[in-house]
Amino acid sequence: MKHVVILISGRGSNMEAIVRAQIPGARIVAVISNRPDAGGLEFAARHSIASQVVDHRAFPSREAFDAALAELIDGFSPDLVVLAGFMRVLTDAFVSRYAGRLLNIHPSLLPSFPGLHTHRRALEAGVRVHGTTVHFVTPTLDCGPIVIQAAVPVLPGDDEASLAARVLVQEHRIYPQAVRWFVEGRLRLTEAGGVRVEGESDGPIGWTVPPVEA
């Protein structure tokens, strides 16, 4: 069994999607939040998953918070750490400690729109296609090797909320898929800085474009 620790800051719907996927060979050993009021903690408790809070406001520095967080995570002997709406910038030391076993989901088609307010910025930029990305975490924010992406159309009349909702549906598809691949041991970091999914066909691997909505 691969031990998976999931970090959240809020609603936790991606965490929920991963738990509900019941990925063979994966055991969600803990859900950890940096916010005591994160909605996702309730779901974890209801599903008898160990849940913990490390409140970043209780620490004098980013380094001190990350060190405490890492100590807690390591107590669960994780094979994989999953950032699921975890809204803290992590120190290089933290990222290096979990190199190759730290995944994040970001609500845009990276490398477009790293950082915050991605849906608003996509609308402002007038892009016709938007989406979401699961990637390995590296020290540069929202920049690591891409595992899987899903694209959605930007429709006339969209606002931030409607676009975010369309993207979220795809997040709930691709994050469990990425975790499944990791747990199956099929993700390979390539020398070129990308990710190869072993056993997938020859084409551009690890991407998916869902059907365009009417």
Helix and strand element counts for the chain (H, E): 6, 10
For 169, counting Cβ atoms within 10 Å of its Cβ (0-12 exposed, 13-18 middle, 19+ buried), the class is middle
Any contact of residue 147 with ligand GAR (CB under 6 A)? Answer: no
Catalytic residue among 3, 106, 117, 172: 106
Provide CB contacts within 8 A for 45, sequence distance 6+. 51
Residue closer to ligand GAR (CB basis): 12 or 145: 12
Task: Let me know if 135 is a catalytic residue.
Answer: no
What is the C-alpha to C-alpha distance for residues 201 and 106, in angstroms, rounded to an integer?
25
> Of these, 13, 51, 138, 170, which contacts ligand GAR (CB under 6 A)?
13
Tell how strand 102-106 and strand 129-136 pair up: antiparallel
Residue closer to ligand GAR (CB basis): 16 or 79: 16
Any contact of residue 170 with ligand GAR (CB under 6 A)? Answer: no
CB 15 within 8 A of CB 6: yes
Least distance in Å: CB of 43 to ligand GAR?
A: 10
Least distance in Å: CB of 50 to ligand GAR?
A: 18
2 forms bridges with which residues in the sheet?
26
Residue closer to ligand GAR (CB basis): 164 or 196: 164
Any contact of residue 176 with ligand GAR (CB under 6 A)? Answer: no
Any contact of residue 168 with ligand GAR (CB under 6 A)? Answer: yes
Any contact of residue 11 with ligand GAR (CB under 6 A)? Answer: yes
Least distance in Å: CB of 71 to ligand GAR?
A: 23
Any contact of residue 131 with ligand GAR (CB under 6 A)? Answer: no
Span interacting with ligand GAR, options 3-11, 24-32, 91-99, 185-193, rule CB under 6 A: 3-11
Provide CB contacts within 8 A for 84, sequence distance 6+. 6, 7, 8, 12, 14, 15, 18, 40, 105, 175
Tokens of 85: 């709406």
In three-state secondary structure terms, 72 is: helix
Query: Active-site positions?
Result: 106
Interface residues with ligand GAR (CB under 6 A)?
8, 10-14, 84-85, 105-107, 168, 171
